[in-house]
Amino acid sequence: MTEWYNVGKIVNTHGIRGELRVISQTDFPEERFAEGTELGVFAPGDKKPTLVKIATSRPHKNFMLITLEGYPFMSDVLPFKGSELKVHEKYLEDLNDDDFYYHEIVGCTVFDEEENEIGIITEILETGANDVWAIKGVNGKFHYIPVILDVVKEVDVDEKRITIALMDGMLS
């Protein structure tokens, strides 16, 4: 089964020349939105993408402004508003040993250092200083764990298992 991964959300058009305003959802915007990059546009509810190629891109305020090959006018790209931009799995970059893609972390089961199950990671929040994992606890309560060296002790994405060191008050 072919997998696609989010790299951005098209929130609006920009000007009359077919530019799209994109909220980047990747740590690699300079690569994901580079000229010639192939992406899939997934309209809300679509299972299959419209395949596109980036013609131009540039940062603008908190957005990326992109144009797509073969879509020169605003009227051409207007139907893409509200769509997700995704990259095909074959274009994912190899990461350093201690770096992981979000899709590798979400769904992992979290344990403390005494092997007690804490819960499952449901979401990753970007806070600026460090990421925070939202963990749905075995009791149904959500816990928010900072992704810092003092807390995260071991990550095994193949086994979908993460071990953390609990700090006082972390699960209250």
pLDDT tens sequence across 137-172: 999 999 999 999 999 999 999 999 999 999 888 887
Query: Is residue 129's pLDDT more than 80?
Result: yes
Distance CA 52, CA 22 (A): 14
Single pTM value for the model: 0.72
pLDDT, tens digit, 9 for 90 and up, residues 66-104: 999 999 999 999 999 999 999 998 888 777 878 888 888
For residue 45, which amino acid is it? G
CB atoms within 10 A of CB 159: 9
Instruction: Name the fold adopted by 102-164.
Output: SH3 type barrels. (2.30.30)
> Rounded to whole angstroms, how far apart are CA atoms 69 and 78?
15
Strands 152-156 and 142-146: unpaired
3-state helix, strand, coil in the chain (%, to 5): 10, 45, 45
Residue 2 has pLDDT above 80, yes or no: no
Please tell me the predicted confidence (pLDDT) of residue 102.
84
Q: Where are the domains of the chain?
A: 4-91, 102-164
Specify the 3-state DSSP secondary structure of 68: strand
Check pLDDT > 70 for residue 1. no
pLDDT of 28:
83
Q: How far is CA 86 from CA 7, 15, 42, 58, in A?
A: 5, 23, 7, 18
For residues 20 and 65, the answer to whether their CB atoms sit within 8 Å is yes
The pLDDT assigned to 40 comes to 96
The pairing of strands 84-88 and 131-137 is unpaired
CA 61-62-68 angle, to 5 degrees, is: 90
Q: Tell me the CATH architecture of domain 4-91.
A: Beta Barrel (2.40)
Vertex 6, ends 23 and 77: CA angle to 5°?
55
